[in-house]
Amino acid sequence: MNKRITRLAIAFLLLFGISTFEAQAGELVKFISPLDDRFPSAEFTTKVNEVPIRHLIDALKDDEQIRQMEELFQASTEINPDAEAKSIFIAVYEKPSPYGVPFMQCYSGHGFNFFNLDDKKMGGMIFHLSIVDPDGNKKGVETGVFQSGFFHEIGHIILHNLVPNYPTAYQSNGITSLSSKETAFDEGFAELHEIFFEKRMPQYGTPNFLAAYEQFLYKMEFACFRPFGTEHNLFVWADWNDWPRLSKILKEKGGEAFYQDDFLSKKELREFDDMIRSEGVVATLFLALVGEITTQENGAPVDLQKCRDWNKLIKPAFLRLYSTIHSEQNNSLEAFVKSLIKDPSFEKYRSNLWKVILETTFYAFGSEKYGEMYRNFHEGRISESEYSAWKNQVFHETAGL
C-alpha cells in the first residue's frame, strides 16, 4: 500500500449522530465512509453519517480560501487531462487514527492498487480524516486547523495529478522530508499551499489558532523546518531525532524555544544535496517564486497575505509553476529549478526569478562557496557589504543560465 503520512498539527472533533446521506460538499469534494475496520481502508461507501461532518460541509461551501484551493485542484486536472484524481475524496473515520494525524494515501501508480467505492473500482488519492471528539468538528473549523489540513493534503493530490508517476514518498515516524529529495519536494509543495492560504485566513495568528497548534508535538516542525525562518533551514539540527528531549522542550518552553540557539545545537551548514532535501527550503523557494511572479505582473510589490486579486495575479502565478512541474515531470527541487531556468514562459522575468532562487538558497545554486561565505558573514568575519558584493558577483556570473 502506497501511503503518505504528513506531520500536520490538526485537531478534529466529532458529534455522533444516526443519520446517513450521500455526502457531497460540492462537485469536487466528496465525503466517503469506510466499510471495514481497517485504517486506512480500501472499501468505501458514499453513505456517510452527516452529523460529524456538518461543520466541514459548511466550511467547504463558505470558506474563500478553500474555494480557491479547489480552483487550483481543478486546474491540475485541466493541465493534465489524464490526472487520476478528478474529485477530492475525504474518508471520514469515526474512530482514532493509529497515526494520530490526517494523511493522504495514493491508491494508484502500479496498476493494481485501487480502492472500491460503492462496489466500483477506482484509482486516485484519498484524504483520510479521523473525527472522534464528542463535540463534533466545530472547533477545528473555527480555529482554522481543518482548513490548514485541507490545504496541505490537497496540495499533495495536486502534485500527484501533475506528476502521476511521482516516486513513493513515505512520511512516517522519521522526518524523511529532511533526507529524501523526492519527499522534501512533495512536502514542500504541500507546504506552499498550506502556508500561503493559512496566512490569508481570518483565523491566522489569533489566540484560538495559536492555542490549537500549541498542544501538538509537531509544532516543532513549524518552528524549525517550515518556512517561517529560512535561516533555520540552512543548518542541520544536531538533536532533531531526539524526540524525548524535543518533546520536553516543547512542553516546558513552547514552540518559540526552537528559535533560540541555546536549546538546540547546530551542526555544520547544509551541503547543497542536504539543502535540497529540506521541505522548508522547498516551500520557502516556492513561496518566494509566487511572490516574485505576482510582483512582476503587478508592476509593484505584492503582499501575498493581503492581496485579494486572485484571478489576475495570484492564481496565474500558481498555474505557471504547475505547468512547468507537469511538463518536465519534476520530482525534486534541483530538477524544478533547472526546468524553470529553461522554460520559455519565464523568459521575460528569468533574471528576477534566478535572483530569488539564489537568495532563498543562500546562493547554493550559484556557488560552491555559499557555506563558507554565509558562515563568514553569520559569524562576523566579513562585513555585510563584503557579503553583498560576493552575492552580486555570483548573480552576474550565473544570471545567463
Q: What is the pLDDT of residues 198-257, one digit of tens each?
A: 889 988 878 787 777 655 444 444 444 443 344 555 555 555 556 566 667 767 776 566
Kindly state the cell numbers that stand for 223.
518552528
Query: Is it the case that residue 365 has pLDDT exceeding 80?
Result: yes
- Top pLDDT among 95 and 386 is at 386
Distances in Å between the Cα of 104 and the Cα atoms of 45, 220, 333 are 18, 21, 21
Residue 310 scores a pLDDT above 90: yes
* Summary mean pLDDT of the chain: 79
Dump pLDDT digits (tens) for 21-48: 555 545 789 999 999 988 889 999 999 8
Burial bucket for residue 383 (CB in 10 Å: 0-12, 13-18, 19+): exposed
SS3 130: strand
| Residues 288-305: tens digit of each pLDDT | 999 999 999 999 999 998
User: Which has more confidence, 268 or 172?
Assistant: 268
pTM of the model: 0.84
For residues 233 and 280, is the Cβ–Cβ distance under 8 A? yes
pLDDT surpassing 50 at residue 74: yes
Query: Where along the chain do its domains lie?
Result: 2-198, 215-262, 275-398
In tens, the pLDDT along 159-168 reads: 999 998 887 6
Cell of 114: 485501487
Question: Is the predicted pLDDT of residue 17 greater than 50, yes or no?
Answer: no
Q: What span, in angstroms and rounded, lies between the C-alpha atoms of 392 and 136?
A: 55
Confidence of residue 130 (pLDDT cuts 50, 70, 90): confident
